[in-house]
Amino acid sequence: MRVTFAALVVVALFGGGWLWLRGSSLVAVEHVHISGVQGPEAIEIRKALDGAAGRMTTLDFNPGALRAAVASYPLVGALRVRTSFPHSVSISVSERQPVAALLSSGQHTAVAADGTVLGPALSSGSLPSIGGSTEPAPGARLNAPAALAAVTVLGAAPAALARFVTHVYQGPEGLTVAMRSGLLVYFGNDTRPHAKWLSLARVLVSPSSAGALYIDVRLPERPAAGFSTTSASSASSAQAPARANTVDPTTAALAASLESAVGGGASTTSTVPPATTSESSAKEDESASSAGSAAASAEAGSSSAADAASSQAAGSSETSGAPSTEASTGSAAGG
């Protein structure tokens, strides 16, 4: 009994001493190091973090109080805290980067990849635009599925590609990304966005995609490039649609900067690998070799439909001997 009582007294003394020490000025936070904060609200964010941390100790630090102190700044994402006994704290801030400008009622407001609205102050003309029926307040989250899908796709875009995007919208082929030159990229939805961007990059650096009106990456393993008949048969023809002619500068610029975006694995001098070759390119090569006339088509449907169409085209060229020309200016069937 006496031993037990003595042990309890010792524990109480040490426990009380520990409670006193962890809240005493002996371990009060005196030096706060903050990193990762940029932008127009950087000064206010630093002051909020510094003030909240200064009311704590290194032995009794509350990260939740820090998050509450910057809750009014939607730019702040995650906080990582490291305390150094006895008086120092390091705070690393992960900011939400704007990936799109939400256009609503004629006003633009920046939006992050997770759908958080960052406010008009972070919006700029270089951001791709997305549409919205309402303009949420800064700090709120988008609730429209189409807008959320758009920012998810934009958040996954490699920097070398993202700077060429002008806007994202829901079209007949689903989620559609419009490039500066007028080239359209059919994503369909926001699933597997990284794989779709990589598929697009590999098609763009291939010479076979030059002059494409659109690229369909809804099935990233089987992308399809769509062309017009006139642009496929004669790149300098006066009858070629203006959009087909304006794709080339963007394609050339992307090809020059995309090698790093695809991990250095894409070659700008070779054709698209078999796994990413579009059916339209394959049919064009087949028609050119059999009849001496270039043709373009855009088919991203099932493999059986593509094989049937290819066999029919080959059969007609054998029986008639006439050049086979197939125009593809519409939409591709998605998977």
pLDDT surpassing 50 at residue 327: no
Predicted TM-score (pTM) of this structure: 0.66
Averaged pLDDT of the chain? 75
Going by C-alpha positions, the residue among 67, 101, 316, 300 that lies closest to residue 199 is 300
Rounded to a whole number of angstroms, the distance between the first and last alpha carbons of the chain is 78
Domains along the chain with CATH numbers: 26-95 (3.10.20.310), 98-142 (no CATH), 156-320 (no CATH)
Write out pLDDT tens, residues 91-109: 999 999 999 999 988 889 9
For residue 141, give the nearest of 94, 171, 109, 105 by alpha carbon: 109
Helix or strand holding residue 311 (H, E): helix 303-320
Q: What is the DSSP pairing of strand 88-95 with strand 165-171? A: unpaired
Residues in CB range of 296: below 8 A, 6 or more apart: 225, 226, 227, 228, 229, 231, 232, 280, 283, 284, 326, 327, 328
Biggest CA pair distance of the chain: 111
Which pLDDT score, from 0 to 100, does residue 12 have? Answer: 60
Q: In this model, does residue 272 exceed pLDDT 90?
A: no
d(CA 164, CA 128): 9
By CB atoms closer than 10 A (0-12, 13-18, 19+), residue 123 is buried
273 pLDDT more than 90: no
Specify the DSSP class assigned to residue 98: E
From 241, 131, 227, 243, select the one nearest 176 (Cα to Cα).
131
Read off the pLDDT of each residue in 198-226 and give the average, rounded to a whole number: 93
Burial of 105 (0-12, 13-18, 19+ CB in 10 A): exposed
Cα of 258 vs its chain's centroid, Å: 15
pLDDT bracket for residue 257 (50, 70, 90): low
CA-CA-CA-CA torsion for 64, 65, 71, 76, nearest 10 degrees?
-70
Q: Comparing 61 with 318, which gets the higher pLDDT?
A: 61
Would you state the pLDDT for residue 7? 64
> Please, are residues 142 and 155 in contact by the beta-carbon 8 Å criterion?
no
Q: Are strands 214-216 and 129-131 parallel, antiparallel or unpaired?
A: unpaired
Q: Using the 8-state DSSP alphabet, how is residue 322 labeled?
A: P
- % of the chain beyond a pLDDT of 70: 65
Using the predicted structure, report yes or no on whether residue 5 has a pLDDT greater than 70: no
Phi and psi, residue 31, nearest 5°? -125, 120
pLDDT at 237: 31
The angle at the Cα of 22, spanning 19 to 24, to the nearest 5 degrees, equals 100
